[in-house]
Amino acid sequence: MESNKPKKKKKRTNSKTKKQTKPTPKTETKQEKSEWGKTKTEQQEKLEPINFQNKDKIHPLTKQKFSKNYFEILETREQLPITAQKENFVKLLEENQVIILTGETGSGKTTQIPQYILEAGYSYGGKYRICCTQPRRVAALSVATRVSEEMDVELGSEVGYTIRFEDKSSPETLVKYLTDGMLLREAMIDNNLSQYSVIIIDEAHERTISTDILFGLLKQLLTTTRKDDLKVIVMSATIEHKLFQEYFNNAPHLDVTGRVYPVDIFYLEEGENDYVSGVIKTSVEIHLSEPKGDVLIFLTGQEEIEDCCERLYWRLCDSKSSEIGEFEIIPLYAALPYYEQKKAFMPTPDDKITTLQNGEKKTLYGRKFIIATNIAETSLTIQGIVYVIDPGFSKQKVFDPKKRVESLLVSPISRASANQRKGRAGRTQSGKCFRLYTKKTFEQLERQTIPELLRSNLGPVLLNMKKMGIINLLMFDYLSPPSIDLLVRALETNHYLGGLDEDGELTELGHQISSFPLDPQLAKMLIKSQQYDCCDEILTIVAMLSTPNCFIRPRKRRKQADQARARFIDCNSDHLTLLNVYNEYFTIQKNQKNQWCKQNFINNRTMYQAVNIRKQLFNILRRLDLYRKSYNDYSKNQSLIELKIKKCLVEGFFMQTAYKLKRKKYLIVRDKQQVLVYPGSSIQFFRDWILFHEFVLTERNYIRTCTSIEGQWLVDIAPHYYETSKFSNGRVKSALESLHRQRKSAMEKFKKKKMKKGENATG
């Protein structure tokens, strides 16, 4: 991201730094700040440990007295399984450039390892940083918060985080948590990642696209420009370490798992279709009859989780007649505001003692039910979990290169995932795992989750790889190479979009596109918006598309919510509907915004984010000298600007269009898939051609966030994509042929007119 260029780190002015001599620069190139590169032993002489446990109890970085909280947390830190391996790890780090580290979730890898590295002196007196990647924004944020507390420093100073559209780090930052995607973006600006002395790739087993590409990139750096001054640590849950070891030239492996307790597994006798009901039933049973311990439930997404929370709440309330323990039901998913997520870490409700009719005393256990997405599988650790309920599904990205559509699909998890989930029950004592499927189903699951790189649209990441200096995408050293088909598709779509030229090299537009932390289509829309004189409006639309859905629709107040929403609706465009929401929100006074959101059933956090994102996109656009204030005032010239906005949408999304069959039923252009317009869409007039932002695969195929367009714009704006020779016979082809004919005759008319004018002028 733009605010995140490698910063020349301010030299810390503590006595320790003064004592250290600056390592002699290796090469004095302008961009590379890689300043050491001595032989290993020489280098280590320069390391001076940062002593956190000095007898004066003075903080070595802030020079203040440690707070009471510091010592309290220190005690719990010392009990983490990883503590026993600290010396082992530091020694291994001294002797090796790459280490593979595994350990059960909760062993202390993510929070402790960066601190060990820092204490061992690898910031070289504050000149270099240590970073640790996370696949999820939430995890980066929450772990950075935790570590800043553990280190007794302010978040954003010595410990910081960077996630897309949010940078909480500063020149002082020594330990930085960031999403793997953000580290990739940093690599686009500084190919050598030279601000870092140690790079930790965490949650490596998740095999996200960004993590996989980072592997290739780091391996390349380790063998070329940063042969001896970069250290890489690959951390993961207890799986797959051999694969990583082999990839990194037999790097040593260290496992830090401490004690794990046995977990009993219970399967269903017969498969169950409605797993949410199964979850509720099992939860109630646990609460009524199982001993003390909190429950962790894995579901697939926000809506399902919220729905389940509500149903479980009422079910438990209903059974209150038979006196039950206190309970707390806590949802946990990425889109939830951080303060809501924190609730998962709050203490469990107290137990109650009740007297039975026969005079006996009975304890009714207080219990937490945490209903989470995959987020809780490995990246967040919650204490006190004794019971896990696992329906066996998660939302996964799937991409069909032939059809060119990518979607998040609820899919069965892998055995490795199921075992991770199970493991969450055995951290502090023995536990139970209820699998809401049969043993046979378990045995038929895939062994490992398939890496994202092998099942995603590589279009967005391809331009970034180019920008990182990876010349030959086919020959890149992938941990698991994607199919040629996927790569070719990605090259092709970027070529159509104009980001790559015939030879697969970045065009000027391609460079511009990759400056935005956005999908290429969205970036292209922004870049083109000046030509259509609608920069301000497109900025807003892109910002709104980069946040979660802004409309709230609570179960019990759906009617009111829909009425409130009706005011914003544009019957031809979901994009314009979003613009309407933002524009009105913007006019509301600051201190009334929250109230306005509540009244209108709008998620105020989404709006807040959208404002922030818009600001950042605006800065990038201006920096590239591509911003011009919209000439026409939207409120006065609405229909004119709307036309321009829609054409600009086509500039980015001409590859995501559909042709009408009947009413809401459309045919996706190019791959002939039948789809329906998503039920929640604002669109009420279904015209022949429609453009969509997203393809959603559920029990039916839907397109979501749509805008009606004119077919003529397609052949005008993207004639190369809409060449009729590229289509097989059928409705779409005939429609296009007629559009091309119209275009041709219009152009001829235009030419004639022009010539006539010319004659008149000279005559």
> Measured from the CB of residue 143, what is the shortest distance to Mg ion in angstroms?
7
Instruction: Let me know if 105 is exposed, middle or buried by CB neighbors in 10 A (0-12, 13-18, 19+).
Output: buried
Quick one: 156 or 504, whose CB is closer to ligand CDP? 156
> Measured from the CB of residue 381, what is the shortest distance to Mg ion in angstroms?
7
Quick one: 34 or 105, whose CB is closer to ligand CDP? 105
- Is-contact 577 705, C-beta < 8 A? no
Residue 142: contacted member of ligand CDP, Mg ion, none (CB under 5 to 8 Å, by partner type)? ligand CDP
> Measured from the CB of residue 66, what is the shortest distance to ligand CDP in angstroms?
18
Stretch that binds ligand CDP, among 12-20, 104-112, 129-137, 548-556 (CB under 6 A): 104-112
Quick one: 29 or 67, whose CB is closer to ligand CDP? 67
Quick one: 198 or 714, whose CB is closer to Mg ion? 198
Residue 103: contacted member of Mg ion, ligand CDP, none (CB under 5 to 8 Å, by partner type)? ligand CDP
Quick one: 103 or 451, whose CB is closer to ligand CDP? 103
102 binds ligand CDP (CB under 6 A): no
106 binds ligand CDP (CB under 6 A): yes
110 binds Mg ion (CB under 5 A): yes
Work out whether strand 175-179 and strand 159-163 pair parallel, antiparallel, or are unpaired.
Answer: parallel
> Measured from the CB of residue 146, what is the shortest distance to ligand CDP in angstroms?
4
Nearest residue to Mg ion on Cβ basis: 110
d(CA 342, CA 209): 28
Number of residues that bind ligand CDP (CB under 6 A): 15
Stretch that binds Mg ion, among 109-117, 365-373, 584-592, 721-729 (CB under 5 A): 109-117
Quick one: 83 or 441, whose CB is closer to ligand CDP? 83
- Which of 103, 293, 426, 460 contacts ligand CDP by CB under 6 A? 103
Q: Which two tokens stand for residue 678?
A: 């998503």
How far CA 641 is from CA of 352, 549, 648, 690, in Å, comes to 64, 24, 10, 18
d(CA 744, CA 741): 5
Stretch that binds ligand CDP, among 21-29, 98-106, 474-482, 564-572 (CB under 6 A): 98-106
d(CA 626, CA 529): 8
115 binds ligand CDP (CB under 6 A): no
- Tracing tokens 């920096």 back to the chain, one arrives at 623
110 binds ligand CDP (CB under 6 A): yes
Stretch that binds Mg ion, among 110-118, 216-224, 485-493, 698-706 (CB under 5 A): 110-118
Between vectors from CA 358 to CA 352 and to CA 364, what angle results, nearest 5°?
Answer: 15
341 binds ligand CDP (CB under 6 A): no
- Which of 109, 137, 489, 660 contacts ligand CDP by CB under 6 A? 109
Quick one: 106 or 126, whose CB is closer to ligand CDP? 106
> Measured from the CB of residue 150, what is the shortest distance to ligand CDP in angstroms?
8
Stretch that binds Mg ion, among 108-116, 117-125, 329-337, 564-572 (CB under 5 A): 108-116
- The arrangement of strands across the sheet holding 327-332 comes to 263-266, 431-435, 385-390, 294-298, 367-372, 327-332
Quick one: 192 or 341, whose CB is closer to Mg ion? 341
224: number of Cβ within 10 Å: 9
- Which of 62, 383, 531, 583 contacts ligand CDP by CB under 6 A? 383
Q: Which two tokens stand for residue 760?
A: 């008149």
How far CA 76 is from CA of 69, 119, 384, in Å, comes to 11, 18, 14
**In Å, how far from its chain's centre is CA 571?**
31
d(CA 412, CA 446): 9
348 binds ligand CDP (CB under 6 A): no
d(CA 249, CA 98): 9
Q: Which two tokens stand for residue 464?
A: 């970034």
Residue 420: contacted member of ligand CDP, Mg ion, none (CB under 5 to 8 Å, by partner type)? none
Q: Which two tokens stand for residue 160?
A: 């910081």
d(CA 510, CA 464): 9
142 binds ligand CDP (CB under 6 A): yes
419: number of Cβ within 10 Å: 18
> Measured from the CB of residue 567, what is the shortest distance to ligand CDP in angstroms?
40
Helix/strand/coil (H/E/C) assignment for every residue in 660-701 = EEECCEEEECCCCCEEEECCCCCCCCCCCEEEEEEEEECCCE
Quick one: 143 or 178, whose CB is closer to ligand CDP? 143
107 binds ligand CDP (CB under 6 A): yes
- Is-contact 264 293, C-beta < 8 A? no
| DSSP label at residue 11 | P
d(CA 706, CA 702): 11
How far CA 129 is from CA of 47, 115, 203, 230, 695, in Å, comes to 14, 11, 20, 11, 40
Residue 456: contacted member of Mg ion, ligand CDP, none (CB under 5 to 8 Å, by partner type)? none
> Measured from the CB of residue 420, what is the shortest distance to Mg ion in angstroms?
12
Quick one: 336 or 436, whose CB is closer to ligand CDP? 336
102 binds Mg ion (CB under 5 A): no
d(CA 422, CA 19): 50
The helix (H) or strand (E) run that includes residue 435 is strand 431-435
Residue 107: contacted member of Mg ion, ligand CDP, none (CB under 5 to 8 Å, by partner type)? ligand CDP
> Measured from the CB of residue 235, what is the shortest distance to ligand CDP in angstroms?
7
- Which of 97, 111, 374, 707 contacts ligand CDP by CB under 6 A? 111
**Could you say which residues in the range 442-481 bind ligand CDP, by CB under 6 A?**
none
**Could you say which residues in the range 29-88 bind ligand CDP, by CB under 6 A?**
80
> Measured from the CB of residue 733, what is the shortest distance to ligand CDP in angstroms?
55
- Which of 373, 381, 705, 708 contacts ligand CDP by CB under 6 A? 381
**Could you say which residues in the range 617-676 bind ligand CDP, by CB under 6 A?**
none
Residue 381: contacted member of Mg ion, ligand CDP, none (CB under 5 to 8 Å, by partner type)? ligand CDP
Residue 143: contacted member of Mg ion, ligand CDP, none (CB under 5 to 8 Å, by partner type)? ligand CDP
Helix/strand/coil (H/E/C) assignment for every residue in 101-123 = EECCCCCCHHHHHHHHHHHCCCC
Quick one: 108 or 520, whose CB is closer to ligand CDP? 108
d(CA 132, CA 149): 17
| Contact pattern from residue 143 through residue 182 relative to ligand CDP, giving x for each residue in contact according to CB under 6 A and a dash for the rest | x--x------------------------------------
C-alpha dihedral sign at 511, 514, 516, 520: positive
Q: Where are the alpha helices (DSSP H) in 239-389?
A: 241-247, 275-289, 302-318, 338-341
How far CA 626 is from CA of 277, 514, 518, 615, in Å, comes to 53, 14, 16, 15
- Which of 85, 97, 105, 705 contacts ligand CDP by CB under 6 A? 105
Number of residues that bind Mg ion (CB under 5 A): 2
Residue 157: contacted member of Mg ion, ligand CDP, none (CB under 5 to 8 Å, by partner type)? none
591: number of Cβ within 10 Å: 7
Residue 282: contacted member of ligand CDP, Mg ion, none (CB under 5 to 8 Å, by partner type)? none
- Name the site residues for Mg ion (rule: CB under 5 A): 109-110
- Name the site residues for ligand CDP (rule: CB under 6 A): 80, 103, 105-112, 142-143, 146, 381, 383
